[in-house]
Amino acid sequence: MWDIDFNRLRDVFVYDPQAPMIFSSGIFLWLFAAFILVYLLLQHRLTARLLFVTAFSYYFYYKSSGTYFFLLALVTVSDFFIARFMAGTSVGWKRKASVVLSLAINLGLLAYFKYTNFLGDVFASLLGGTFHHYDIFLPVGISFFTFQSLSYTIDVYRKDITPLTNLLDYAFYVSFFPQLVAGPIVRARDFIPQIRRPLFVSHEMFGRGIFLIASGLFKKAIISDYISVNFVERIFDNPTLYSGVENLMGVYGYALQIYCDFSGYSDMAIGIALLLGFHFNKNFDSPYKSASITEFWRRWHISLSSWLKDYLYISLGGNRKGKIRQYANLVITMFLGGLWHGASWNFVVWGLFHGIALAAHKFWMTLTGRKKGEESHGIRRFFGILITFHFVCFCWIFFRNADFSTSLDMIKQICTTFRPQLFPQLIAGYWEVFVLMALGFFLHFCPDRWENACCKTVTRLPLMGKAVLMLALIYLVIQMKSTEIQPFIYFQF
List the beta bridge partners of residue 3. 490
Is the Cβ–Cβ distance between 49 and 167 less than 8 Å? no
**Residue 4 pairs with which residues in a beta bridge?**
489
Q: Which residues pair with 2 in a beta bridge?
A: 491
Compute φ and ψ for 491, nearest 5 degrees. Answer: -105, 130
- Is residue 341 annotated as a catalytic residue, yes or no? yes
Q: Name the residue among 261, 254, 339, 194 with its Cα closest to residue 24.
A: 261
**What Å distances lie between residue 267 and 49, 262, 468, CA to CA?**
24, 9, 20
Asked if 210 contacts 271 with a C-beta cutoff of 8 angstroms, the reply is yes
In sign, the C-alpha dihedral spanning 427, 430, 435, 436 is negative
Residue 12 amino acid letter = V
Q: Which residues contact 346 (CB under 8 A, 6 or more apart)?
A: 398, 399, 400, 401, 402, 403, 404, 407
Other beta carbons less than 10 A from residue 159's beta carbon: 10
Which residues sit opposite 353 in a β-bridge?
Answer: none
Q: What angle do CA 302, 308, 313 make, to 5 degrees?
A: 130
Identity of the residue numbered 199:
L
Residue 82 is which amino acid? I
Query: Across the chain, which distance is largest between two alpha carbons, in Å?
Result: 81
- The size of the chain, in residues, is 493
Given the residues 44, 341, 354, 361, select the one marked as catalytic: 341
Q: How far apart are CA 363 and CA 353, in angstroms?
A: 15
108 Cβ neighbours under 8 A, 6+ residues apart: none
Residues with a known catalytic role? 341
